[in-house]
Amino acid sequence: MSRITVRTENKRFPTAPNLYGIFFEDINRAGDGGLYPELLRNRSFEDSIEPKDCHTEQDGYALVSRAGWRDEFNHGEGLSRWIRKNGTPYTPVPAWYTNHAQMCLDRDDTLNVHRQVSLAVAFEKGGELYNTGFCGIAPKEGARYHFYMFARTETPVKVSVSVEEDAHEFGKLDFLLEGDGYVRYDGSFAADGDGRNARLVIRCPEGGKVNFGFCSLMPEDTYMGHGLRRDLVEKLRDLKPRFLRFPGGCIVEGFSPETAMQFKNVVGPVWERPGHQLMWHYRSYNGLGFHEYLQLCEDLDMEPLYVCNCGLTCQGRMPEFFEGEELEAMLQDTLYAIEYAIGDKTSEWGSLRAQMGHPEPFRLNYIEIGNENSGEVYEVRYRKFYDAIRKRYPHIRLIANTHLEEKGLQADIVDEHFYSTAEFFAENTNYYDNYDRKNPKIFLGELAVVRGWVGQLYGALGEAAFLIGMERNQDVVELASYAPLLENVDYNAWFPNLIRFNQRESIAIPTYYVWKMFGNSRGEDVVEADVETGTLYRPVKGMASLMGQAGLRYRNASWNGTPVGVTHELMGRVKEEEGSSCILPPDEEQRAEAEKLYRVDKDRVFAVFGEEQVTSGTFDIDIYAEEGREICLGVYSGRMPKEVYMADETHPPKEWNAANVKPFVWTLENGVSTFREQKFPSDRNLDEERIAELRYGEFNHFRYEVDGKQMKLYVNGECIHQVNVPGFPSLSSVVCDSPSEVIIKIVNMSPEEDAVEITLDCQVEDAYQVTLLTGEKQAENSFEEPEKVHDVLQSHSGASSHFYYTAPAYSVNVLRLVKVQDCCTEQ
The DSSP string of 131-166 is E-TTTSB---TT-EEEEEEEEE-SS-EEEEEEEEET
* Closest C-alpha to 245, from 424, 18, 519, 524: 18
- Structurally, the chain folds into a number of domains equal to 3
619 shares a domain with 718: yes
Handedness of CA 777, 781, 785, 788 (dihedral sign): positive
755 shares a domain with 699: no
696 shares a domain with 575: yes
Whether residue 101 is contained in a domain is answered as yes
Question: How many residues are recorded in the chain?
Answer: 827
Beta-bridged to residue 754, according to DSSP, are 807
Whether residue 741 is contained in a domain is answered as yes
Whether residue 287 is contained in a domain is answered as no
Which element (helix H / strand E) includes 416?
A: strand 413-421
The residues, ordered by sequence, that sit 6+ positions from 40 with a Cβ below 8 Å of its Cβ are 95, 131, 133, 200, 215, 216, 217
CA-CA-CA-CA torsion for 347, 348, 353, 354, nearest 10 degrees? 60
Determine the structural domain holding residue 628 and report its residue range. 544-725
Each residue of 523-568: pLDDT tens digit? 999 999 999 999 999 999 999 999 999 999 999 999 999 999 999 9
* The pLDDT value given to residue 603: 86
Each residue of 421-467: pLDDT tens digit? 999 999 999 999 999 999 999 999 999 999 999 999 999 999 999 99
Each residue of 504-528: pLDDT tens digit? 999 999 999 999 999 999 999 999 9
The residues, ordered by sequence, that sit 6+ positions from 719 with a Cβ below 8 Å of its Cβ are 712, 713
Q: Quick check: 414 and 435 in contact, CB under 8 A?
A: no
Q: If DSSP codes are grouped into helix, strand and coil, which group holds residue 34?
A: coil
Is this model's pTM higher than 0.85 or not? yes
712 shares a domain with 676: yes
Give burial (CB, 10 Å; 0-12/13-18/19+) of 67: middle
Number of other CB atoms surrounding residue 663 within 10 Å: 22
Handedness of CA 3, 8, 12, 14 (dihedral sign): positive
Q: Quick check: 240 and 299 in contact, CB under 8 A?
A: no
pLDDT at position 827 over 60: no
Number of other CB atoms surrounding residue 752 within 10 Å: 12
795 shares a domain with 648: no
Each residue of 113-171: pLDDT tens digit? 999 999 999 999 999 999 999 999 999 999 999 999 999 999 999 999 999 999 999 99
The residues, ordered by sequence, that sit 6+ positions from 15 with a Cβ below 8 Å of its Cβ are 471, 474, 522, 523, 524, 525, 526, 736
Backbone φ/ψ region at 489: left (φ over 0), alpha (ψ -120 to 50), beta: alpha
635 shares a domain with 552: yes
* The pLDDT value given to residue 742: 98
**Distance of alpha carbon 566 from alpha carbon 294, whole angstroms:** 57
pLDDT at position 800 over 70: yes
Beta-bridged to residue 127, according to DSSP, are 204
What's the chain's average pLDDT?
96
**Distance of alpha carbon 552 from alpha carbon 568, whole angstroms:** 16
Pairing of strands 631-635, 54-57: unpaired
193 shares a domain with 116: yes
Whether residue 610 is contained in a domain is answered as yes
pLDDT at position 823 over 70: no
pLDDT at position 602 over 70: yes
* Longest CA–CA separation in the chain, Å: 94
Domain boundary among 180, 201, 219: 219
Buried b (16+ CB within 10 A) or exposed e, 130-144: bbbbbbbbbbbeebe
**Distance of alpha carbon 102 from alpha carbon 89, whole angstroms:** 17
Q: If DSSP codes are grouped into helix, strand and coil, which group holds residue 340?
A: helix
Confidence of residue 826 (pLDDT cuts 50, 70, 90): very low
pLDDT at position 648 over 90: no
The residues, ordered by sequence, that sit 6+ positions from 660 with a Cβ below 8 Å of its Cβ are 639, 640, 642, 653
Beta-bridged to residue 721, according to DSSP, are 713
* The pLDDT value given to residue 822: 67
- Whether the ω angle into residue 249 lies within 30 degrees of 0, i.e. cis, is yes
Pairing of strands 672-677, 664-669: antiparallel
* The pLDDT value given to residue 821: 83
* The pLDDT value given to residue 601: 85
More confident residue, 603 or 420: 420
pLDDT at position 290 over 50: yes
Whether residue 551 is contained in a domain is answered as yes
Confidence of residue 705 (pLDDT cuts 50, 70, 90): very high
Cα separation values, 249 from 120, 252, 390, 500, 649, Å: 36, 6, 23, 19, 19
550 shares a domain with 693: yes
Whether residue 471 is contained in a domain is answered as no
Number of other CB atoms surrounding residue 202 within 10 Å: 26
717 shares a domain with 804: no
Pairing of strands 792-796, 762-774: antiparallel
Mean pLDDT computed over 67-73: 96
203 shares a domain with 149: yes
707 shares a domain with 637: yes
Q: Quick check: 308 and 369 in contact, CB under 8 A?
A: yes
Whether residue 505 is contained in a domain is answered as no
Whether residue 769 is contained in a domain is answered as yes
Domain boundary among 170, 202, 219: 219
CATH code of the domain containing 704 = 2.60.120.560
CATH code of the domain containing 108 = 2.60.120.260
* The pLDDT value given to residue 825: 44
Mean pLDDT computed over 288-311: 98
pLDDT at position 37 over 70: yes
634 shares a domain with 746: no
